[in-house]
Amino acid sequence: MSINLENKCRRYQTKFSFGATSAIITNLGIITGLDTLSDPKLSIIAGMLVVALADNIADSFGIHIYQESECIDNKEIWFSTLSNFFTRIFVSLTFIILVSVLPINLAVPYSIGWGLALLAIMSYAIAKNRKVNPYSEIFKHIIIAIFVIILSHFIGRYIISQFKIVI
């Protein structure tokens, strides 16, 4: 009985962790990739809103179709779809608020700190549930996020420098 309940709790945890991780990494990529534009706040917020809706719907729909193909119970399919969607919306809104209210020179590092903190907390909780070393899990996940942040920053700078119009 307790093993069945534990597996059920893990299944529900995965519904939220996928959406949260996706939102954290995607928003950090947008923030650090577009922070050197001439009007970064507007561009970053617009990019995050588009991703929070369009990419979120695409991911949620993909999860929905995938789970249907796996013959998973209809109730669980809808729970997965909606929990992914609303988790991503909520996490994305926290980044949008940070970028909206802070000057861009503070919004970028605060967003990075916020995203890494969320990722660390989530990684810790999942690792404890899996009964593995939480600090090694946090370290692995933070390294991946930092890689995405650095890569996004340099790709954003390169693309922006290639398409700047000189007047």
Provide the residue range defining the domain that includes 50. 2-163
**111 contacts 95 by C-beta, under 8 angstroms:** yes
Query: How many structural domains compose the chain?
Result: 1
What pLDDT digit, counting tens, does each position of 78-94 carry? Answer: 998 899 899 999 999 99
Closest CA to 58 of 30, 26, 28: 26
Burial letters 137-152, b for 16+ CB under 10 A, else e:
bbeebbeebeebbeeb
**82 contacts 61 by C-beta, under 8 angstroms:** no
What pLDDT digit, counting tens, does each position of 2-57 carry? Answer: 455 455 545 555 667 777 888 888 889 899 888 878 788 888 999 899 988 998 89
pTM here? 0.83
